[in-house]
Structure formats: C-alpha cells, structure tokens
Amino acid sequence: MSDESLRTSEKTPFIPVLAGEPEFRYVAGMHGNEALGRELVLNLMQYLCREYKKGNQRVVRLVTETRIHLLPSMNPDGYEAAYEKGSELAGWAEGRYNYEGIDLNHNFPDLNNIMWDTQEMAADKSKVPNHYIPIPEYYTQEDAMVAPVTRAVINWMQEIPFVLSANLHGGELVVTYPYDCTRDWAPQEDTPTADNAFFRWLATVYASTHLVMSNPNRRICHYEDFQKHNNIINGGAWHTFPHVSELPVEWENNRESLLVYMEQVHRGIKGVVRDKLSKRGIEDAVIRVEDHEHDIRSAADGDYWRLLNPGDYKVMVWAQGYHPSVRRCRVGMEPRATVCDFGLTKTPIQRLNEVRTKGGKLPQDLQLRLRALRLRMLRASTKTLNQRRQRKARSPGGRRGVSSKKPQR
C-alpha cells in the first residue's frame, strides 16, 4: 500500500477543510541489510489496510486523520546484496551501503552544525534562523557524492511539510532521538534539541509499548548476545539480517509501538493561520512557541501543527505583510491536539502595495488609515528634527540663527 491508496481523496479536487491532516512518515531500509524495518513497514501497510476494512476504530481514525507516508526500502540495492547472502552469511557491512558504496544514513547534510556555527558567530543569537536552514551548496552540484535516493528523499521532505517521522534501523534494540550529531565532531555528547522534552516523550512512548524493550524478563535473541558480551559486540559479528522465522514475533513486538508512535502526531497544538478579513489561509507564517527555540511554518493552506507536551504556552505568529499575533494555548493530558487558530491583520503598507499593483483605487478606510499613519510619521520626524536643531543651537559651535527660543526684539 503506497501513499496513493491511503490518500485517494487527493485525486479528487481540493476540498477545503477546517484543519487539514498532519503528514507522518516512516522510512526503513536505509541500510539495506537491516531488513527488519523493511518487513515491519510492509507488515504495517497490510495491517492498516486489513484493519481499516474491518472497521477497527483506532485504525480508521488514524488513517482518516493522518496523511501516512511509508517508505519500506530506501536502499533496495543494498537489500538485494544482503538477501543473496542470507541471514547466516550476511555480515555487518554486506548490503549496508548502496551500489555506489554510499552510507545513506550519513549522506544527508549536517544542518545542526551549520546552525550552531552561525549562532556562535552571531552577535544576537535570537536573530539566527532556528529552522528552514538551507542545504549546503555542495548538495546542489552534479558531481557531489550524494546518492540519487538521498536527493529524492531530500526533495520529498522539502515538498511535504512532515510533522513527525521515524527511521527504522536494525541490529540494536534502542530508540534514539535528535540531535544525532555532536558539536565540533566530539566523539560523544548529549546534544538536546529545543524540543528535547517532547522527543524524550516520543522515545518513551515507543520503548514502553515495545514488548521486549518494556519487559525485563523477555530479553531475547540479539539483546542476550549483547548481555553476554557486557553489552558490547564487535561490529562484524553484529547480526542485522534476521532469519525469516524471526519476523512474525518481531512484528508482534513492534506493532503497538509503531501505531502509538504514529498517533503522537496528534499532540500539542494545531490550527490555521488566516487573513482576518478574507479568511484565507496564510502560507509560510512563522509559529514561535516561547522558550522553544525552534520555529515552524504554516503549510500551503495556512494549517500548522506544533507538537508539544502538556502545558501552557505563549504562541507568537507572524507573516510577511501582517501584524504579528500572540495568544496563549493550553495543551491538556488527553491524546488530541488543542486547536489554536490565528487571524492576522494586514499592515496598511501591505494593503496599499496590493492595491497599487492591481491599479485600483484606495478604499476609504485605508485612505484614512494611511493619512493618519503619514501624519504620525511626519510629526515624529519633525520632533526629531527640532530636537536636533535645539542641540545644535545649544552647543558652542552651533548656529545662533536657528533656535527654538523666541527671538528677542
């Protein structure tokens, strides 16, 4: 089941909805030999279709309220290489890379360090963009060592405003959360994101519903190997290509985790940023949550999702040509997002420019506001000018002739 079958409504003309659906994605098989993720995603596809048809309320809700994107095999050439050897013979490196020898997991740009470097050099840290960081120029070059599939996935991520995603790897039983990089190439360092609390929640949600991770008495297969070896294992001996007989139990172990993780896309706050007058959604509006130094932007219809843990938040929204807007939004304990809509008012200058480009006449209210605005600006500039003249007159070298004092007769 590709996105297509899950999202047949996309084939029909666009029907505006009060709040759209958040975009979610699972990517597996980045390392071709780590076959478990691929099998889990394929199982998930079948499960969602089957349960949806059966009318399983949980799955119906998940499918109708979420745009689900599932990519089971990001590195199919690596998978084939590992598959040919089979689970007994395939080693740690067999099929890990793509046919060009590229490790896809390390083929994406390190935007974290670009952001950290810019912040370190900036005089005012708050002015440095904390989101939408452009990919390095190197990635745009034809001869760059960037795999076609990496380019395709980057493109995919730019075109679709994903709210939540996860990559499935194999060979270790652990949930990791960002950032994945350390600063300045330090070998090991805790590098929390602005959303550390929520990422820890997400990791906990997955781990606590995983049948093996959550149960200390149910340690099986790989984990036992690690325990025997004091939790360390030689990379070459690391068994990543599971035997076919292991797959059903692994699906059972991960099924609830995969579902509950997807459901987390419906947490925090969501809403639509609209033009107060026309009620049209505003694209690319910046949504900032106070004390969370990672802004997000509204999608094409003005809808947005900001994942947050329960709490009270001050949320600021601004967009080009509009006055900013601030409101408080409360996130409760219940597993659904709080609706927090914003109506923005256009600045007079923006409206004036729009009227001018259309070659139309200025509406009455805009003319009055413009008149008042210009008068205020004139008064302010006159005041500054007069103050400057006064200072000049008082200073020893100042010209005597220009003074605000009454001329003496």
Q: Which residues contact 27 (CB under 8 A, 6 or more apart)?
A: 71, 74, 153, 165, 166, 167, 168
Residue 266 near residue 22 (C-beta atoms within 8 A): yes
Catalytic member of 250, 256, 293, 354: 250
In 298-362, DSSP assigns E strands to 303-306, 311-318, 325-331, 338-339, 342-344
Q: Which is nearer to Zn ion, 21 or 34 (CB)?
A: 34
Strand pairing class (342-344; 269-275): parallel
Whole-number Å distance between alpha carbons of 409 and 403: 14
Q: Are 116 and 293 in contact (CB under 8 A)?
A: no
Give the residue with the Cβ less far from Zn ion, 247 or 316: 247
| Least spacing, CB of residue 98 vs Zn ion, in Å | 13
The answer to whether residue 250 is catalytic is yes
Q: Please give the helix or strand (H or E) that residue 201 lies within, else none.
A: helix 196-209
Closest to 205 in 3D by CA, of 266, 257, 275 = 257
CB of 24 to Zn ion, least distance (A): 21
Q: Shortest Cβ distance from residue 105 to Zn ion (Å)? A: 6
CB of 240 to Zn ion, least distance (A): 8
Judged by CB, which is closer to Zn ion: 106, or 294?
A: 106
Q: In the complex, what is the shortest distance from the CB of residue 173 to Zn ion, in angstroms, rounded to a whole number?
A: 13
Minimum Å distance from CB 31 to Zn ion? 4
Q: Which is nearer to Zn ion, 169 or 389 (CB)?
A: 169
Q: Which residues, including other chains, have CB under 8 Å from residue 126's CB and lie 6 or more apart?
A: none
Distance, in Å, from the CA atom of 344 to the CA atom of 279, rounded to the nearest integer, reads 9
Burial class (CB in 10 A: 0-12, 13-18, 19+), 17: exposed
Closest contact distance (angstroms) between CB of 2 and Zn ion is 23
| Calpha distance 237→228 (Å, rounded) | 13
Helix (H, G, I), strand (E, B) or coil at 221: helix
Phi, psi of 27 (to 5 degrees): -120, 130
- Measured from the CB atom, is 23 or 34 closer to Zn ion? 34
Min dist. Cβ of residue 200 to Zn ion (A): 22
- In the complex with Zn ion, the residue whose CB is nearer, 168 or 269, is 168
- Helix-strand-coil split of the chain, %, nearest 5: 40, 15, 45
Tell me the two tokens of residue 16: 């505006």
Pick 106 or 371: Cβ nearer Zn ion: 106
**By C-beta, is 40 or 163 nearer to Zn ion?**
40
Angle at 160 between CA 299 and CA 332, to 5 degrees: 55
Greatest distance between any 2 Cα atoms in the chain: 110
Helix axes 364-394, 348-358, angle to 10 degrees: 120
Q: Supply 131's token pair.
A: 């989101």
Binding positions for Zn ion, rule: CB under 5 A: 31, 34, 169
Distances from the Cα of 238 to the Cα of 29, 36, 216, 222, 255, angstroms: 16, 14, 22, 9, 24
Point out the residues that are catalytic. Answer: 250
